[in-house]
A and B are shown apart, each in its own frame.
Chain A
Amino acid sequence: MKLKPARMLSEVLTHLFKKPATSGYPFEKARVTARFRGRIDFDSGKCIGCQMCVRVCPSKAIEIPLSEEQFAAPPVQQGQPAVPAKKQFDCIMKLGSCVYCWQCAETCPKHALITTQDFELAQIDPSKLVRHYK
């Protein structure tokens, strides 16, 4: 095969007139695509406490405990059996363990886990990585 020295020269010279390929993050906002998997948010009103998300999570990053505050049962209607109050659940999310696979959100039968595209989640204080959603 024929050898051509300085094959790169013209290419290198054209790069003198090109914009840098790197972006100016953090001064410039970084873009993510519409399908990017970020932090999981929680809607307590929808959760029924079935614990499916806890069982399916590969990194044990999510816990669904019973909330401290519970609503009182609705007043008993005449002639109707008493209806118990809907139980309230919290969500404890360990952002440091989560691998952002969204498997929990896909498994949740009530769509109580809300997917977001937050990715700037780094913390200096590790305790802040555990979020308690109520």
Chain B
Amino acid sequence: MSKITIPLGPQHPALKEPENFMLVLEGEQIENATINLGYNHRGMEKAAEERTFIQNMYLLERVCGICSHSHTTCYVTNVEEAAKAEVPERALAIRVLVGELERVHSHLLWLGVAAYEIGFETLFMYTWRDREQVLDCLELLSGNRVHYSINTIGGVRRDITPEQKNEVLKRINFLEERTKYYIKVATEEPTVRARAANVGKLPYEVALERGAVGPTARASGVKRDVRKDAPYLLYDKLDFNLITHDSCDVFGRVVVRALELMESYKLIKQVLNYLPEGPLTVKVPPRIAPAEVVNLYEAPRGEDIHYLKTNGTDKPERLKVRAPTLANLQSVTYMLEGGWLADVPLVIAAIDPCMSCTDRAMVYDRKTDKTQVYDWEDLRRLGIEAYKRKGVDFSKF
């Protein structure tokens, strides 16, 4: 049979954001898959260099609509570390609380999307209806459903009152009951099992080799979670389990996320009952002495990395964001290859992709009307040349 290549995307009903997958098909089976990114580049890293640290808070919140708290917390931790500020513990506790509420809303959203891709629309409607409860909690605490803006440099902007605590606990208890039911549905309903089991296989070794992160890695049995491996905020004081599953397929990813919801409820309750007394913020000077910092954060989709370089002014010299989807895309090609065309939307959805967070740069030459993609070697060479012009020679390394 002759092979055909079909493009999936950049505009495709199965994809929520523009990206392109070139699939080489032999009949219905995928022989080879390549991912092309770059349709969503927004120039955020460059824009961040033009803004002050406090303005960047609101810019970086918009890297991703779902994990807005992850990006700002990671960024703000960097800034505080560079400024050598000691953040009060109450502020850290509130950050953990909002972070876990965010994980709940993101995982419930994903559960709905996965149900939708499976064709199980009843479950999709139910999870999204219940997700409103956690969005209400977030609005109650922070003032907004999506871009909470609760972080500020040196702490958090809003406190938690006892009434709010009770209100959040009430809703979390309700969600806990609902989630127990969804776990039963996901594991006992034959429809979910039949559609998701043995689809998008990612064996343990491959997940390690391709550097998968977050629930994608954990569903392949890889014990990897920044909250455990390199605890930040208050996670070393809190008690929760690292959830893994060893089925290595889409079904495992459903189960991991559903069980992680229960762990997040546990964390939310712990933090609400812990909440140390004290101030909410410390003062951080607007100008920050030269420093270089890197921080990790376990976003709902996996490990999020931020790098920050300061130069003594009130603006960053360089800011770099590595969103978790970028780490997981290497695994997607593996999961697609050998699978069936009809499974593609489900497999892609199973890593919970967030393409606009991931997209960084594409080079477009106006004179020749050509776009160009650089590989690692090219980037290395260009970097060395650029530094040579500044008088630093890196070519020896």
In the complex, given contacts A8-B123, A35-B143, what are 18 additional A-B residue pairs having Cβ atoms less than 8 angstroms apart? A2-B188, A3-B190, A4-B188, A7-B184, A7-B185, A12-B122, A21-B132, A33-B139, A33-B143, A35-B139, A35-B140, A36-B139, A58-B56, A58-B57, A58-B58, A101-B149, A102-B143, A103-B58
CA distance A99 to B136 in the complex (A): 20
**Nearest chain B CB to A33's CB is how many angstroms away?**
5
**Nearest chain B CB to A108's CB is how many angstroms away?**
14
Could you tell me if A35 and B54 are in contact, using CB atoms closer than 8 angstroms?
Answer: no
List 15 A-B pairs, Cβ < 8 Å: A7-B185, A8-B122, A21-B129, A21-B132, A32-B139, A33-B136, A33-B140, A33-B143, A35-B141, A35-B142, A36-B139, A56-B52, A57-B55, A102-B143, A102-B149
Q: Which of B139, B147, B188 contacts A1 (CB 8 A)?
A: B188
User: Which residues between 72 and 112 of chain A lie within 8 Å of chain B, taking CB atoms?
Assistant: 99-103, 106
Given known A35-B140, A35-B158, A36-B144, contact A7–B189 (CB-CB < 8 A): yes
Interface of A toward B, CB cutoff 8 Å? 1-5, 7-8, 11-12, 21, 32-33, 35-37, 55-59, 99-103, 106
CB-CB under 8 A from A1, the residues of chain B are 187-188
Name which residue of chain B comes closest to A20, CB basis: B129
CA distance A32 to B54 in the complex (A): 26
Name which residue of chain A comes closest to B158, CB basis: A35
CB-CB under 8 A from B62, the residues of chain A are 99
Could you tell me if A3 and B189 are in contact, using CB atoms closer than 8 angstroms?
Answer: yes
Name which residue of chain A comes closest to B57, CB basis: A58
Q: Which of B136, B158, B181, B188 contacts A11 (CB 8 A)?
A: B181
**Nearest chain B CB to A14's CB is how many angstroms away?**
12
Name which residue of chain A comes closest to B140, CB basis: A33
Tally of chain B residues near chain A (CB < 8 A) = 33
CB-CB under 8 A from B189, the residues of chain A are 3-5, 7-8
**Nearest chain B CB to A107's CB is how many angstroms away?**
9
Given known A21-B132, A37-B144, A56-B54, contact A3–B149 (CB-CB < 8 A): no
**Nearest chain A CB to B252's CB is how many angstroms away?**
13
Give chain B's interface secondary structure class. Answer: helix
CB-CB under 8 A from B136, the residues of chain A are 33
CA distance A57 to B129 in the complex (A): 35
**Nearest chain B CB to A2's CB is how many angstroms away?**
7
Binary A-proximity of B102-137 (CB < 8 A = 1, otherwise 0):
000000000000000000001100100100100010
Binary A-proximity of B289-316 (CB < 8 A = 1, otherwise 0):
0000000000000000000000000000
CB-CB under 8 A from A99, the residues of chain B are 58, 62, 147
CB of B157 within 8 A of chain A?
Answer: yes
CB-CB under 8 A from B266, the residues of chain A are none
CB-CB under 8 A from B149, the residues of chain A are 37, 101-102
CB of B165 within 8 A of chain A?
Answer: no
Name which residue of chain B comes closest to A32, CB basis: B139
CA distance A56 to B147 in the complex (A): 18
Binary A-proximity of B269-290 (CB < 8 A = 1, otherwise 0):
0000000000000000000000
Could you tell me if B54 and A103 are in contact, using CB atoms closer than 8 angstroms?
Answer: yes
CA distance A36 to B149 in the complex (A): 11
Closest CB pairs A-B (n = 4): A35-B143, A58-B58, A58-B55, A4-B188
CA distance A1 to B188 in the complex (A): 7
CB-CB under 8 A from B181, the residues of chain A are 11
CB-CB under 8 A from B171, the residues of chain A are none
Could you tell me if B58 and A101 are in contact, using CB atoms closer than 8 angstroms?
Answer: yes
CB of B381 within 8 A of chain A?
Answer: no
**Nearest chain B CB to A109's CB is how many angstroms away?**
15
CB-CB under 8 A from B126, the residues of chain A are 11
Could you tell me if B187 and A58 are in contact, using CB atoms closer than 8 angstroms?
Answer: no
Name which residue of chain A comes closest to B54, CB basis: A56
CB-CB under 8 A from B139, the residues of chain A are 32-33, 35-36
CA distance A99 to B55 in the complex (A): 11
Could you tell me if A37 and B185 are in contact, using CB atoms closer than 8 angstroms?
Answer: no
Name which residue of chain B comes closest to A99, CB basis: B58
Binary A-proximity of B57-72 (CB < 8 A = 1, otherwise 0):
1110010000000000
**Nearest chain B CB to A19's CB is how many angstroms away?**
12
Of the listed residues B132, B143, B149, B187, the one surrounded by the most CB atoms of chain A closer than 10 A to its CB is B143
CA distance A55 to B286 in the complex (A): 12
